Amino acid sequence: MSRETDAAGRVVAIRGAVVDIAFTQDSLPPINDALEIRDTGRRAVLVEVQAHLDSRRVRAIALQATNGLRRGAEVFHPGGPVTAPVGDAVLGRLLDVTGTVGDKAGPLPADTPRRPIHAPPPPLRAQNGTSEIFHTGIKVIDLLAPLAQGGKAAMFGGAGVGKTVLVMELIHAMVARYEGISVFSGVGERSREGHEMLADMTDAGVLDRTVLVYGQMNEPPGARWRVPMTALAIAEHFRDAEHRNVLLLMDNVFRFVQAGSEVSGLLGRMASRVGYQPTLATEVAELQERIAATGSAAITAIEAVYVPADDFTDPAVTTIASHVDSTVVLSRAMAADGMYPAVDPIASSSILLDPLIMGEDHVTVANQVRRAIEHYRELQDVISLLGMEELGREDRHIVERARRLQRFLTQPFAVTEAFTGLPGRSVALEDTIAGCKAILAGEADDWDESSLYMVGNLDEARAKEEAARKAQDAA
């Protein structure tokens, strides 16, 4: 940021993260512009203009801690909104909302280009449709909740259900398959999680094509509120200037909404439904509508969303859900049963699961898999009380095949190889469909269920079954 030589104004009031600034001239900086507060003996504090109080005063929200700041401190207007460093220099680095590095690899080069974090979404005429599929190599997602290039997918789930592992595997898939860039935005994350992610990505060999942007839990709400915008600015540079595919991962979008609610309260705005900010829909739309495919490259977003009290009617959840193309619901019950990835095949869905996009065969198999697993769940109480023997022949066949389908839809991940000892598997969509079709047709009815657990395609399961039988015969 360029700096003006003379102070444009002075701090007149400080209330936590809210700072009121009086200017000497009637010309006030626009909303969303950045201001620098320089106080004697401390580093500059970056704030963002949020309201014009009168012809001389503005109200700003701090993006950095205001501890020790005093009234009368000089304020400078560099011109324009907050900017983020972009380009190849930020690959493999950990940044905060203002682009300051948070790792131990030294400062960024002085000539690193910068880009404003606020930008309009690409015009409709420049956007491509979302019919091109983003193949993840993860069976349950590719079959039941396919993702689109340039589309948005939301992962709804709590802590401990394998969300971070799934995020890292998607990064691995993007880098390996598309030669693309990954941008991870940690919104309200713990610093421990950031350093763990940094270490895990280094070990997995994907860090050199990944950017980590964090707004930690202990930072002011303004920093947590704007950190997704910083990540978006970096992603947009790779898409628009370098024409490279970008995978944008955000954890957790709900914390972005929470931070916006805190900012709204600090600015004195009246709360709306369930205590959320009145501008909730606008804020989410400003974030989500910038994620799109344009020309020869796309930003594909995978967003983790916390569901408060498992209430899917919560305004924040419904607002976020209205923007996404694919919904991936992580199930705690499935995680407890060891079914990883713990993606609920019934609750997960995608608008792309259409015969005109995915083909008749894919949609038919996906619907048959869903029906079988749903029927099994309906009968689970009966099975628990009376046992499988009380089921009719047809119901027993459906239940046995549903259990085998559930196990077939698990798979080992490349990023968990060090913990499980199982090499990761990336499965082609055709192999997933063929495997599910064979199980539904009864080809695996006499197989042991464990032969289908944590495998890639059906050929691998078949080989596992044959090896188990040979070992049994030899014994």
Which residues are known to be catalytic? 163, 189-190
What pairing do the DSSP bridges indicate for beta strands 133-134 and 147-148? antiparallel
Q: Which residues of 283-315 are buried (b: 16+ CB within 10 A; e: fewer)?
A: bbebbbebbbbbeebbbbbbbbbbbeeeeeebb
Q: Long-range pairs for 5-9 at CB < 8 Å and ≥24 separation? A: 7/74, 7/75, 7/76, 8/35, 8/75, 8/76, 8/77, 9/35, 9/74, 9/75, 9/77
Q: What phi-psi label fits residue 272: left (phi over 0), alpha (psi between -120 and 50 degrees) or beta?
A: beta
What pairing do the DSSP bridges indicate for beta strands 293-294 and 326-329? unpaired
How many Cβ atoms sit within 10 Å of the Cβ of residue 110? 5
Give, for 321, the enclosing helix (H) or strand (E): helix 315-321
Q: Looking up tokens 């600034």, which residue turns up?
A: 21
Rounded distance, CA 265 to CA 276, Å?
Answer: 9
Please state, in angstroms and as integers, the Cα–Cα distance from residue 371 to each residue in 365, 440, 456, following that order.
10, 11, 23
The residue among 425, 424, 388 whose CA lies nearest residue 403 is 388
Give, for 254, the enclosing helix (H) or strand (E): helix 253-266
